[in-house]
Amino acid sequence: MHIAQIGEAVLKQQAHDVPAEAFGTTELKGFTEGLLQTMLDANGVGIAAPQVFDGRAMMYVASRPSPRYPDAPQMEPLLLINPRIISQSDKWVWAWEGCLSVPALRGFIQRPDQVDVSYQDIDGKHCQIHFEGFLARIFLHEHDHLIGKTWLDHVTSTEQIMAESVWLQQVAGVSGTAH
């Protein structure tokens, strides 16, 4: 799958819910497998369907350490279909973010530190989950893609933007470059 890049119209569009009749289909299963593989191939920790030109409301949260996120916690990839924010914390934190659709840049973005979410799994079962810290940040970042936003929509100053190569050296303490 091809990852949409900043400036492409799909990244500004509102995603639509996956309808009940789509759950359990081989098409949905095949798409979600391809979405996960695309994220893994790009060394991401999350991805949303609009990033691969699909307007359905689904995403993966898949934290793991990588050159892009060396301190990320390890988790099994979690598919969230038709996710809804139930509540989020009043405590907001600043951190650097990257995006597969905004290559070579990082943004210093403020987001809630915790979020409670309802969603459906691949079979349509209704579930709830609580995310904190980096996992909350991943979810909220991917949720932005479902409502037509990227981290760039949260920037209030150009001082909040850095080339990823500079970020890797100055902030992450990694020599060389990674994607």
Q: Which residues are catalytic?
A: 142
Q: Which residues contact 158 (CB under 8 A, 6 or more apart)?
A: none
Cβ atoms of 95 and 69 within 8 Å: the answer is no
Q: Is 99 annotated as a binding residue?
A: yes
Burial class (CB in 10 A: 0-12, 13-18, 19+), 45: buried
Residue 62 main-chain phi, psi, to 5 deg: -145, 65
Asked whether residue 145 is marked as a ligand-binding residue, the answer is yes
> Is 127 one of the annotated binding-site residues?
no
Taking residue 139's Cβ as centre, other Cβ atoms within 10 Å add up to 25
Distances in whole angstroms, Cα of residue 137 to Cα of each of 94, 114, 151, 170:
10, 8, 11, 21
Beta strands, E only, the chain: 46-48, 58-61, 78-88, 92-99, 102-112, 114-120, 126-132, 161-163
108: nearest Cα among 139, 67, 142, 137: 137
Binding site feature residues for Fe cation: 99, 141, 145
Q: Which residues are annotated as a binding site?
A: 99, 141, 145
